[in-house]
Structure formats: structure tokens, C-alpha cells
């Protein structure tokens, strides 16, 4: 109706005002289209969401890397996912990102590598997460093929360009500014880098130096995302890494490794300081640290309070196996809802 009014009565109003109204309408329609993206006849009602991360958030990107050693598109992964499909999620069911999407009332953002920029599917959000990824580019190199965080940001650049081509620069910018950016990285920088004797970073840097390297790199990466329009960022802090099954087996007593947990606590404090600083310096920035540490520690320390029975070993019983993944020759536990950990690294759907 507004469009009809502009066209019908534009001659009686100043031409510039009419054109401005028309332009605002077109931009508004484009933004509405991005926010009310339709898939299979069902419109989304929540925010456009972009997910960046590692195997805790990967929903299938690594399936497309034929040489990747960080893949989970085989049994027993996905045994509790709808239809029992192994989608490339590194758990028995859904990921944190899947649950967040459900809370927002939107479909889980699809993996970037499953999309065509010629279609409209990417307008509602995209998942760029890749198993093996870290903040540092050297993290995860022995997985051969994966997207590092820098590469994930480059993939987002591709999406942003496609958005501009489809809905225009102004609408794309407003959509990205309003979007939710979920980022979960850092675990691999420790588990598959700093703590590995065959990786150079663990021998090159002290832990204080390593944290400074991580934070300086993350600072550059978040500023790059900000430059591409990101404003609302939820950065997942590290969980108690010393308590995951693959670390517990390195302890003589089978208990959590306190030093590794202290590394996670120190990193989280440094990350929070970085995010707070960005909020103070970058106009419109709303960046926050999601406290994963205390939540996961509660599940580990008091499993029975939260409906679990076991938090010190994995459901798949692969704590000591090379790779620590739930391969087809593994034997998963019967009651998968009773375990906090699915394999040696990843939490279960229930957790």
C-alpha cells in the first residue's frame, strides 16, 4: 500500500521525498525478507544467526573435506539425532548450536559448504564451524583439511557479498548488524596444540606468552568480523578442559588435571577482558563471554543433580583410543542420557 501511495501521489510531493520513501520501502522489504526467510513454507521468527567454531559446533562442513581426519559422518554419531542420521555433528544427537536455534525459534543454520550462493538458503544464517579449528591457524594442522577461524571469517565474507548482491548493501548491513554471532573456539588451541608434545607452540611459548598470542590473534579476528558488520557476539568460554576424558586418562588417579583447568580459567579471564575492551572502544559492539566453564564443571562435579550418573568417562568407552572418537567398531553405552561425555572430547546430547 505504501508503494502504491508513493507511485500514485509522487507527482504531488517533492521528487526527492518520494524517492527516499520508495528506497526506504525497498530496503525494509529486503530486511524483512532476510529476517522472515521461508524454507518449506515455514517462516523463521528468530534472529539471523551465524555460528563459528570447532567440532562442538560443526554440523557437517568437514563432511565435504575428503582428506579431513576430523569427521563424524558415520555411526555411532547421530544415533539420537532425528532419524538416527550421522550428519557430521560430533555427538550422539544435537549440538549446542542446535539447541540455541531451537530456543530462538529458528532452524539450525546449515553448514556453509552445503549451500549455493545462488539460492536464498544462506539468508537466514549459516554455520561455518569446522572440526579441528582453533583461534590459531597452526592449530589442527594434523587434521589435514578443515576451516581455521580465519578461513571461517573468509567464508562469511563470501556470504556477505552474496547478501549484498541479493538484497542490497544497506539491507545486508542492517541484517548483519542485527544478527547473532555465536563463536566457540579455543579448546583445540590447547588440546590439539599447546598440550601436544609434537606441536611447536607448547615448547616455543610459556603459558603466559601463549595466552597473549591467543588474545592478540582473537583481537584481530573479532575486529575483522566487526568490520564486516558483526555487532552482537556471544563468545563461548572454555570448559574445564582438564576434566574431559582424554585428559583424565593422563592423570595417575583418573581425576581432573588441575593445571589444564587453570589454563582454561586464565584464558577465559583474558577473553572477557578483551571483549569488554571492544565493547568500550567499538561503537555498537555488544560482545559477551558465555560462561561454559562453571556450567560444565557443575555437570562433572555433580552429575546426579542434573540427571546423569557418569561424568568421568565417555559413553563410547574410547578415552584411551587414538583419536578418542566413537568409531563404528566402538560399543556405546546403553543409557546415553546418563553420560555427560559422548566420546573422549565431546559432550553428549543430554549434556
Give the burial class of 342: count Cβ atoms within 10 A of its Cβ; 0-12 exposed, 13-18 middle, 19 or more buried: buried
Read off the pLDDT band of 322 (50, 70, 90): confident
pLDDT in tens, 228-248: 999 999 999 999 999 999 999
State whether residue 36 is helix, strand or coil. Answer: coil
Q: What is the pLDDT of residue 16?
A: 58
- Specify the range with the lowest mean pLDDT, choosing from 23-32, 144-153, 214-223, 331-340: 23-32
pTM assigned to the model: 0.88
pLDDT at 126 over 60: yes
Using the 8-state DSSP alphabet, how is residue 81 labeled? Answer: S
Q: How far is CA 127 from CA 60, 94, 157, 187, 229, in A?
A: 9, 14, 13, 18, 17
pLDDT computed for residue 14 by the predictor: 52
pLDDT tens digits along 9-41 = 344 445 555 445 445 444 454 444 444 443 333
pLDDT, position 37? 43
Mean of the pLDDT values across residues 238-264? Answer: 97
Is the model's pLDDT at 194 over the cut of 60? yes
**Stronger pLDDT, 117 or 35, i.e. the higher one:** 117
Residue 46: what pLDDT? 85
Are 155 and 128 contacting, i.e. CB atoms less than 8 angstroms apart?
yes
What lies within 8 Å, CB to CB, of 238 at 6+ separation is: 186, 187, 190, 264, 267, 268, 292, 293
pLDDT band for position 8 (cuts 50, 70, 90): very low
**Is the model more confident about 322 or about 269?**
269
**Is residue 52's pLDDT more than 80?**
yes
Mean pLDDT for 45-61 is: 95
Residues with catalytic roles = 55, 343, 346
Percent of the chain with pLDDT over 70: 87
Report the mean per-residue pLDDT for the chain: 90
Domain ranges of the chain: 46-306
The yes or no reply on domain 46-306 and CATH 3.40.50 is yes
Q: How far apart, in whole angstroms, are the C-alpha atoms of residue 72 and residue 63?
A: 8
For residues 149 and 24, the model is more confident at 149
Amino acid at each position: 500500500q505504501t508503494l502504491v501511495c508513493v507511485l500514485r501521489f509522487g507527482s504531488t510531493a517533492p521528487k526527492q521525498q518520494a524517492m527516499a520513501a520508495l528506497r526506504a520501502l525497498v530496503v525494509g522489504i529486503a530486511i524483512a525478507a532476510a529476517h522472515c526467510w521461508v524454507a518449506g513454507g515455514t517462516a523463521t521468527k528468530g534472529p539471523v544467526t551465524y555460528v563459528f567454531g570447532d567440532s562442538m559446533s560443526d554440523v557437517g562442513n568437514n563432511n565435504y573435506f575428503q582428506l579431513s581426519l576430523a569427521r563424524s559422518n558415520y555411526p555411532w554419531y547421530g544415533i539420537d539425532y532425528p532419524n538416527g542420521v550421522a550428519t557430521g555433528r560430533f555427538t550422539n544427537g544435537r549440538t549446542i548450536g542446535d539447541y540455541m536455534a531451537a530456543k530462538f525459534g529458528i532452524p539450525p543454520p546449515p553448514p556453509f559448504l552445503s549451500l549455493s550462493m545462488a539460492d536464498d538458503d544462506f539468508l537466514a544464517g549459516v554455520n561455518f564451524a569446522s572440526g579441528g579449528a582453533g583461534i590459531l591457524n597452526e592449530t589442527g594442522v594434523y587434521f589435514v583439511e578443515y576451516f581455521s577461524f580465519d578461513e571461517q571469517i573468509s567464508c562469511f565474507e563470501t556470504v556477505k557479498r552474496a547478501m549484498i548482491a541479493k538484497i542490497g548493501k544497506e539491507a545486508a548491513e542492517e541484517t548483519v548488524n542485527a544478527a547473532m554471532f555465536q563463536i566457540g573456539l579455543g579448546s583445540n588451541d590447547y588440546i590439539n596444540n599447546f598440550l601436544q608434545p609434537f606441536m611447536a607452540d607448547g615448547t616455543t611459548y610459556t603459558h603466559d606468552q601463549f595466552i597473549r598470542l591467543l588474545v592478540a590473534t582473537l583481537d584481530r579476528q573479532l575486529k575483522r568480523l566487526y568490520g564486516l558488520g558483526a555487532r552482537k557476539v556471544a563468545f563461548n568460554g572454555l570448559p574445564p578442559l582438564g576434566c574431559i576424558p582424554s585428559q583424565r586418562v593422563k592423570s595417575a588417579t583418573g581425576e581432573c588435571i588441575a593445571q589444564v583447568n587453570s589454563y582454561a580459567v586464565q584464558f577465559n579471564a583474558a577473553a572477557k577482558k578483551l571483549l569488554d575492551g571492544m565493547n568500550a572502544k567499538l561503537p555498537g559492539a555488544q560482545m559477551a563471554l558465555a560462561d561454559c566453564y562453571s556450567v560444565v564443571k557443575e555437570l562433572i562435579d555433580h552429575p546426579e543433580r542434573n540427571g546423569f550418573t557418569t561424568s568421568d568417562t565417555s559413553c563410547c568407552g574410547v578415552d584411551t583410543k587414538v583419536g578418542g572418537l566413537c568409531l563404528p567398531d566402538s560399543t556405546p553405552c546403553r543409557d546415553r542420557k546418563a553420560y555427560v561425555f559422548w566420546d573422549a572430547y565431546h559432550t553428549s546430547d543430554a549434556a
